[in-house]
Structures are given as C-alpha cells and as structure tokens.
Structure 1
Amino acid sequence: MGSRANVAVRRDGTWVHHGSNGLGYSLDAWLAPGPEPALAMFGTEAWPVWEPGQWQWESTCEAAALIDVDARELLFFVDIDVTGRLALLEAYGRTWDGWTIRWAYNGLADVTDALGLDRSVLDRDPWDNTDLFKWHRPGPGEQLVLDRLITVGDVAYGLDHNAEDPWTVGPALLDQLGDLPRVDALPGMPRGGMHLDPDGRAAGVWSLGPVHHLTERFAERWPGWTLEFWEDRHAGQAARSGWRFPDPAAGVDDAIRRLGERVLDHWLPATPENRDEWPKSTRLDPFYGMRAAGLAFDGLQRIVDVLLGPGREPIVVAEYAKRVL
C-alpha cells in the first residue's frame, strides 16, 4: 500500500504540488531541517509536478504538507503517535523559526482548502458504513493494541487499527459497544478518542489522524446529537470520563533524539562527504533531491543542534556518520 502523500508549495501567489505512494514514510524527516532544505529538495526534478486536479485519495492519504512561503506557514500532518507528534512540533518550532506551524486535522483536505480549491478535487469516501469493523473483526484471543478509546460515562472500550473511525459509524456504534474489549487500565496512549453521552445525545472527539471534516459532517451522521471537537486535546475526554491518560510529554526527550537520528539517517547519504558512494548514473536520483540542499556535515550539525534544543545531549554528526555510512 505504501504511504501516500502530497506536498504543495505556494510562492509568489502561485502553487504547485508533488506526491508519491511512499512519500509519507519520510515526510517528517524531510521537513525537519527547515524551510530552505525542504524547498530545495521539493524543487528538483526528483519530484515531478502533479496536475492541479491530481491528488491522493483522501481516505488513504497518510501524510501531506503545504509549505506556504508567502504566509510563512507550514500546514502538515503525518502518521505518528502522541509523544512523537509533541516532539515533532517542538523541533519544527525551532527549525522553522519565524513560521507558523499548523496541524492538518482534516488531513489532505486542509491543504486543498488552504489553496482555495473546490472540495470536489478530492475523491472522498461516503460515511455510509454502519459496521465498526468493516474489513477485519479481531477475534477473542487477539491482544488489544490500543489505537483509539471510546468512553461512555466512566466505562472505556478499546479499538485497534482495524476499526473504522467510530464517529463515521453513527448511532449504530452504540449497539456495537458491548462487543468491544473493555479497558480497565490504559496500556499506552491512544491516538484518538470519542466520548459518548447517550442520555444527553452529546459526543466529543479528539484525534491525531485525519477526521475528514468531522465538524461539518457530524450532524447528518448523528442526527439530534451535538459534537465537541477537541483537536488533539485528550483532556476533554479525560474530564468527561474521569479517565487518567499517561503523560505523553514524559517521552519527548527520547522522541526528539530519535527524530534527530532519523533526520541524519535520511540526509547523511546525500552529503558531499559521501560523494564517493553516489551512483554514477544520473538517470534516477536515489536521494530524492536532497543533494540540492547542499547540506554537508557542518550544516547538518547546526540543524541537529537546533532541532534537539538546549539542555539535551548532543548528537555529533561526524561520529554518527561513521556508524551509518
């Protein structure tokens, strides 16, 4: 399946966009060094310009970004857990200094909306399925790998990645809760959650994954219900359910270090110091345009120092390169 993604760049009032079926795997590491390296990379022939009406399918797009040079704004999302996202936003706040960083809660549609495009430019799945497990229903012996948490009062139910987004199922979700595994203690931090108050016909949702214009589509799918969309704030669910979530900030230091190493894993092979290992053929660019950024060891060292921030153990780029090149 890959990791489908689109990246758009707006500059001087015009925009272009690029994409691939594997771009999403690396988008976090390619954006992390900041605007100049990212713009240099996506401006190369390694990333052909897509037609204005050609975009990934909305529901299968796993990452996207709009690098808006005119507004000095980065709008993006990637597939990542809560702690990793906190680390990413903190690091981007330094490497994209002077830019506004925004998370695309609606996924790819936030990018096309920001470009002023008609919604019809994206292929969109209808919310007409009433089965929470449309493709695979976990068996009773399968261990729950928590992805999202549903709460009704103080009772909690766990969903793994096989489940549909519960808010897309509509009120039919209520009759399926009894078949879900009850959660007595959180095994980890979920990536999203939904709190239901059937008596008050009220719901609340938070999510790191795209919600595909939930706030606009909820009333039709849940007639007579009201919605609060908490964006990434799991505290909304905690306040209404009484559940205590793990503190995702506790692992941010480790996550930022992993991000720094991930950036080096991606960018070091394209440095001039590794020139002897570059392929002789120029027909295909195995470095996806990264060489256009002109980053050598010293440049990467400055970037990683900024990315890690003050007070954290440094990563010495030259030493790290000896282990990975």
Structure 2
Amino acid sequence: MGQRANLVIVKQDGYDLYYNHWCANTLPSDLFWGPEHAISFIQAQKKVDQTDWLDDIWAEGGAVIDEAKKLLLFYGGEEEQSNIPYRRLFLELMQRVWGDWEIHWAHEGIVNLAEYVDVSRDKVLTGKNDDLANVNLRPPGALDWIDTIASIIFEDEETLIFPLDGGIEGYLIHGPELLQNCNKSFGYKQFHMEEWASDFPSSGFHIDIKNKQIEIWYADVFSNIVQRLQEKWEDWKVIDHIDSYEAHTEILKGRLQFQAEDSSIMLSEIKASLLRSPTNPLDTISSLVTRLQKDGKEIKVSPDAYMHENYSMPNTIREDIIRYAFSMFENNEK
C-alpha cells in the first residue's frame, strides 16, 4: 500500500535523495507551482541515504531538480501517466509557470532519475518477471476496454489493425510466438478509435513481418523496454517512439485514426485537479489503525508509511498561479 517516490535535489557536489511514501500519484500537482515551491516540497520530505533508491517495481513516481542547470525531470500522477494528450497539455501549462526551466518527462521512470545523477541503471533495475498472459490478438470484451492498438503488415503486404486490452509488454514479450497465434479474423483494415471508445489508448505497436521490424509507443513508464523486447525478438529491429503515437498513424497512412483531442475538456479537468485540496494520507492511516484497534485487532504499521510531509500553500497563491498559467497558455494559442 502506498505511492512511493524518490525525489532528488542536485547539488554542486552531488545530490540529496528524499523519500515519500504517498506522493507518486499526486506528484504532477505537487510540482506544478514552479521551482521555488517544488524545491520546498521536496526538502520537506524525508532525506535518506544515497543507497536508499527505490527500484523499477516499487518506484511509482519521482523527480530530479537541478537548480544550476534549471532542469526538472519527473514522472508520476494518474491521468498524466496514462493519457498522452492530457500529459502534453499539462506540461504545456506547467512550462508557463516554470518559465525558462527545461521540463522533461522521465519515460523510463526511476532509471532516468538515477542515471541523471550518475547512478547505474543496474542499481534500480530488477529484471521484472515477464507477464505472458496475452498470447493472442483477440479484441477486448467491451468497446471501452481498449488500451493498446496493434497493427501488422503480413508477408503478403496485407495490413490489419487489432484493438486490444492490456499493455504492449504482455503481447510483445511472447516474441515471434505472438504471430503464430494471430487470428486474422480479429483484425480490421481501417480503425477509427472514436467509434469504439472515448478514452485515448495508452500504447501501440506495429509489426512489419517481411522487414522484421517492430515499432512501439506508450504513455506509461517502461524501464529497459527495448532491450527486453530485443532479447525476445532476437533478429528483429525494435524502434522506440516513446509517446509519439503520431508515428503509428503515419505508418498506416490513414487506416488508423485516433480520437479528436478536446483541449477545453482536458483544461477543465487539469484545473479541477490543481484546485483540489490536498489530503493527508497519514490521517487516513491513523483513522484506519484506530478503527481496527477498536475491533480488537493488533496492528503494526511500517515506519515507511509515515514518510510523508504535506507542503502547505495558501489557496490564494495556487489560484493566482493557475490563473497566470492559463492566461499565458490562452494568449499563446490565439
């Protein structure tokens, strides 16, 4: 239980490493308010030893702030981590607040953060067990369950598109066996996402059998994804487009169309999330422990669960920053 994050402040002679047990899913909103507030938020958290890095299984969010280079590298959140158009819009607004700072999304998560401060990726990689659940390209049971868009150009040049549930790893990690289990009757020659679902898909892949080439894109954080796939598809080329889903539409030359982006709706959702009053997870823990103890149960709570400090910011300041960000964004759009 928790939303674990490592937070890093780069210093002239190294870096300080911090830990928060609960902020990974709120991190975009915690950092949005500009460098001064972001640094104060991180420094309010528990400072830990430089050996206390989370790994790529336990780290669900994180950030590096390099004040000297004016750079922020981070990942986390909920919608931000699963919806590419939403994340792009959020980062555009955030850039207005951070001014001349560079803001980068950490597509490999904790691996990117560690490497930025010269910590070997091997220190935070676990060699995850592969999930081999999805052995075929059967469509989801309901229209709005689509997570992944797959496409295949077969040896006879026929191109088919397959709407899928689950992420790209669960399919591609099978290697070429996936193609042996491919039922062409599940494929579509043309596919328009808006006819199926309102939610934007979180990933996609394209397989060119004749040229032995795989191209991938994704919203979520994947550590070492190309190397892991290359081990399964030994004599194939793997091209990583990261979050550039547009590459998929270019490959398919109009056969695949994603939903039209309604920025007004996303802007309203972003504003609502930023204005939401922060909650203290420690209050929830205390309430739960008290209730269970009243029921006569013996409760032990890990000390890590208490590693969280709320950073207080007056609502008036938050509202002013939001007003400024949205005003600058709208003026730029005109």
Distance 1:13 1:171, change over 3 A: farther
Secondary structure of the residue that 1:33 maps to in structure 2? coil
Q: How far does the alpha carbon of each residue in 1:12-50 deviate from its partner, in whole angstroms, 9 at most, with x for none? A: 332122334432221111011111111112212xx2123
Q: What displacement does 1:61 show?
A: 3.0
Is residue 131–residue 170 contact of structure 2 (8 Å, CA) maintained in 1? no
User: TM-score, structure 1 length as denominator?
Assistant: 0.77
Which residue is equivalent to 2:124? 122
Structure 1 residues not aligned, in runs of 5+? 271-283, 314-325
Secondary structure of the residue that 2:48 maps to in structure 1? coil
Q: Which moved more, 1:69-78 or 1:2-11?
A: 2-11
Q: What displacement does 1:185 show?
A: 3.4
Is residue 144–residue 159 contact of structure 1 (8 Å, CA) maintained in 2? no
Distance 1:241 1:3, change over 3 A: farther
In the alignment of these two chains, the number of paired residues is 291
Structure 1 position 185 matched with structure 2 position 192: yes
Which residue is equivalent to 2:302? none
Which residue is equivalent to 2:296? none
Which residue is equivalent to 2:161? 156
Structure 1: distance between partners of 2:124 and 2:98: 29
Q: How far does the alpha carbon of each residue in 1:108-151 deviate from its partner, in whole angstroms, 9 at most, with x for none? A: 11111111112232142346554437xxx999755551112111
Q: What displacement does 1:58 show?
A: 0.5
Percentage of identical aligned residues: 18
Structure 1 position 289 matched with structure 2 position 306: no
Structure 2: distance between partners of 1:178 and 1:22: 43
Root mean square deviation, CA, Å = 3.3
Amino acid in the other structure paired with 2:309: Y
Which residue is equivalent to 1:224? 235
Q: What displacement does 1:238 show?
A: 1.3
Q: What displacement does 1:101 show?
A: 1.1
Q: What displacement does 1:178 show?
A: 2.9
Distance 1:96 1:177, change over 3 A: farther
Structure 2: distance between partners of 1:302 and 1:251: 25
Distance 1:87 1:266, change over 3 A: farther
Q: 1:302 aligns with which of 308, 320, 323?
A: 320
Structure 1 position 71 matched with structure 2 position 69: yes
Structure 2 residues not aligned, in runs of 5+? 154-158, 281-304
Is residue 189–residue 245 contact of structure 1 (8 Å, CA) maintained in 2? no
Is residue 107–residue 242 contact of structure 2 (8 Å, CA) maintained in 1? yes
Q: Could you list the runs of 4 or more consecutive aligned residues of structure 1 that deviate by over 6 angstroms after TM superposition?
A: 137-140, 284-287
Q: 2:174 aligns with which of 169, 175, 194?
A: 169
Which residue is equivalent to 2:300? none
Amino acid in the other structure paired with 1:236: A
Amino acid in the other structure paired with 1:77: Y
Is residue 14–residue 117 contact of structure 2 (8 Å, CA) maintained in 1? no
Q: 2:49 aligns with which of 7, 27, 51?
A: 51
Q: How far does the alpha carbon of each residue in 1:25-80 deviate from its partner, in whole angstroms, 9 at most, with x for none? A: 21111011111111112212xx2123322233303533222112122111112223
Q: Which moved more, 1:173-182 or 1:15-24?
A: 173-182
Structure 1: distance between partners of 2:87 and 2:237: 28
Distance 1:17 1:265, change over 3 A: same
Amino acid in the other structure paired with 1:166: Y
Which residue is equivalent to 1:321? none
